[in-house]
Amino acid sequence: MKFTSLAIFFLGLISPARAELNVSFTSEGRTTSKQVALPALFVGEGESPAAGLPSGPFVATYSGSLTIPKRFRVYFSVESEGQVELKVNDEEVTFTEGKSDRLRLNPGEIPIQITFTSPKSGAGYFRLYWEERREFPREPIPASAFTSLDKAPVDAAHLFASHNCIQCHEADLGASAMPELNYAGPNLTGIGSRANEAWLTRWIAQPDKLKPTTTMPAMVDHTKPEGAQAAADIGAYLASLVTREKATNSPDLSLAQKGGEHFHKLGCIACHSKPDADEPDFKNGRVPLNNVAAKFKGGSLVGFLKNPQKHHQAIKMPNFRFSDEEASSLAAYLTKTSTGEHTPDPSEFPPGDAVRGKNLVATLNCASCHEGLEASKNPAPKLADLKDWTKGCLGPEDQRGNSPRLILTEEQKKAITPAVLPALKHDTVEAYTSRQIEALNCTSCHAYNGKDSLLTKTHGETKSLLDHIKETDERLIQSRPPLTHMGAMLHTEYIEKMLLGRSDPRPRPWLEMRMPAFPLHAKHMAHGLGQHHGLPASSPSKEEPPADQVKVGEQLVSMTGYACVTCHAINDKPALAAFEVQGINFGITHERLRPGYFHQWMFNPARLVPDTKMPRYTNPDDGAALRPDILDGDSQKQFEAIRRYIQSVGKVTK
């Protein structure tokens, strides 16, 4: 196969070992550092520039290397509110009206440093672009072009927050504190109606054995007789917490085969190991399902699948808005397949005593994290009163005393010191979003910054669940959009709507998989994804598009233009011949896409999504449009006309 220079360029940009930049923020003599994917920043009025720093003037310095696969002659340019200084190959780059002279970049690793000095108010932004006239137009430098110089540090503040330390060690950290500090554990009201006593006992004894990625600490030492007894007593007490609601029927196991189909088609294997897997997937951190049958009582699994957030608002399991049929059949598959596969008891448990268990729950301060329990008798010290952070929960195993065993490595424990307090007090939506992309396993389903999704390599594990189907229609492309460009691509309003589970109609209704809802995180992540690209919040324009541009745009999308209507429907008017590749309905495109991304996409779609089936409508040699007879062959003018036409047919929904 003969590769074009552009294809070679792509191969060079998506393969570095780690595509990150180091960035340090300095404000009022204090400095904090982290790694980011892009040299871009947006700080609104009164916002912190970085987690750990208060609002106010600051300096941010980004450093790393550009990975250049072949010789380029590029122009750099910036958009900013604030001062930007750029060094490439240790040489300072000067800008005239925001654009540099043409620079020659030779193949290899080229040092790059960007220094941004904010306005005095501390509110500002910058975005760094480049262009290579023969290869690509002006665009943000892709994340995959950068290589970090250092190993990413342990995010101690995130560990502190995600392990609910603040629930026991209370503190008022202010309105700008990390949102995760408000996230508690599951509400255990009526837990005995939902979970079996044997599972509850195992969970109390060794939660990380049942779920290696859990942040639930081990409250007892099950290896000692008194610890095993305590686990049994607490299990008995929790099992006694039942509701007066009528019990629902257990799943109908005859639906298991259909549930297996859903399990495969929905890509559940991206976040979970198989229900009959011998061992958890420690390497990828997938949540085991082998204890499902042992855990859930009656029909409680169906209820959980229908609304995972009902008893635990901060649960990582999203809401797929399952139909009754989907929830019932999935519950049947999971129950049938996991029966007999549960994790063995880690100890010999004696019979439990619910009265003793109730007292233990109060003594162990379980109500600090969980509603529905006996109030705590001996509250833990407040955060401000902790004198030595190297003891208790964070101390060595032989010096923990009666403190719970946190599911943390020794390195992680040592990283949690009083130095985390500034980061807890001053957070940003950009930092929050980065944390949640990891915590919510977004990259299990979506490619991100040059790294394939986990589902890409695990989906085959459950393909046999469809073996009984003799004929399947595999014509429609089932690839999921990459997460890399999401904040630059979609309006903030639309991202929030998607994360809330309110995007109707679905933009890709042909996908067997679907975007689930993450209601707790929607607002912050919608803004943070845009700020990853140095962009403020945005919403679709409600202005009336110019009639002359609309007319030209309509011609360009028609069969006498670029034939966009072959693959794209327009509201209720279906696409003409989208047998294998469907496009998103033009009726919702204006509501979704930011104008800047639309133009970048139209110039060369494969530059943003290498495996896209969307064709290119510009000449690779000079970027001119493929229809020289319309608008003088000016591709930017043609694409703007198409955008205006799409705007004219758009239906912005609430």
Per-residue pLDDT of 411-438, as tens digits, reads: 999 999 999 999 999 999 999 999 999 9
> Is 271 among the domain residues?
no
d(CA 299, CA 280): 25
- What's the CATH number where 619 sits? 1.10.760.10
d(CA 263, CA 330): 7
Among the candidates 115, 147, 179, a domain finishes at 147
> Is 213 among the domain residues?
no
pTM: 0.92
**Cβ-proximal residues to 281 (8 Å cutoff; 6+ apart), any chain:** 273, 288
Alpha-carbon dihedral angle through residues 589, 591, 595, 596, given to the nearest 10 degrees: -90
472 with 515, same domain: the answer is yes
> Is 131 among the domain residues?
yes
Looking at the 3D structure of the chain, how many domains does it have?
A: 3
Closest CA to 507 of 569, 442, 597: 569
> Is 454 among the domain residues?
yes
489 with 580, same domain: the answer is no
pLDDT at residue 356 in the model: 97
579 with 476, same domain: the answer is no
d(CA 167, CA 223): 27
* More confident site: 138 or 148: 138
pLDDT tens track for 48-70: 999 999 999 999 999 999 988 88
Among the candidates 147, 170, 196, a domain finishes at 147
572 with 454, same domain: the answer is no
Contact 139, 129 (CB under 8 A): yes
594 with 469, same domain: the answer is no
552 with 438, same domain: the answer is no
pLDDT at residue 3 in the model: 31
Secondary structure in 3-state letters for 36-80: ECCCEEEECCCCCCCCCCCCCCCEEEEEEEEEECCCEEEEEEEEE
487 with 578, same domain: the answer is no
Q: Please confirm whether the linkage preceding 119 is cis (ω < 30° from 0).
A: no
Among the candidates 124, 147, 170, a domain finishes at 147
- What's the CATH number where 87 sits? 3.90.182.10
Range of the domain at 468: 429-531
d(CA 351, CA 494): 53
> Is 260 among the domain residues?
no
DSSP annotation of 409? -
First and final C-alpha spacing in the chain: 49
**Cβ-proximal residues to 187 (8 Å cutoff; 6+ apart), any chain:** 311, 312, 370, 371, 372
38 with 122, same domain: the answer is yes
> Is 336 among the domain residues?
no
> Is 354 among the domain residues?
no
586 with 526, same domain: the answer is no
**SS3 state of residue 391:** coil
pLDDT tens track for 169-178: 999 999 899 9
> Is 481 among the domain residues?
yes
pLDDT tens track for 502-538: 999 999 998 889 999 999 999 999 999 999 999 999 9
**Which amino acid is it at 202?**
R
Q: What is the mean pLDDT of residues 304-319?
A: 97
481 with 581, same domain: the answer is no
pLDDT tens track for 23-32: 999 999 999 9
456 with 551, same domain: the answer is no
pLDDT > 70 in the chain, percent: 95
Closest CA to 380 of 405, 355, 363: 363
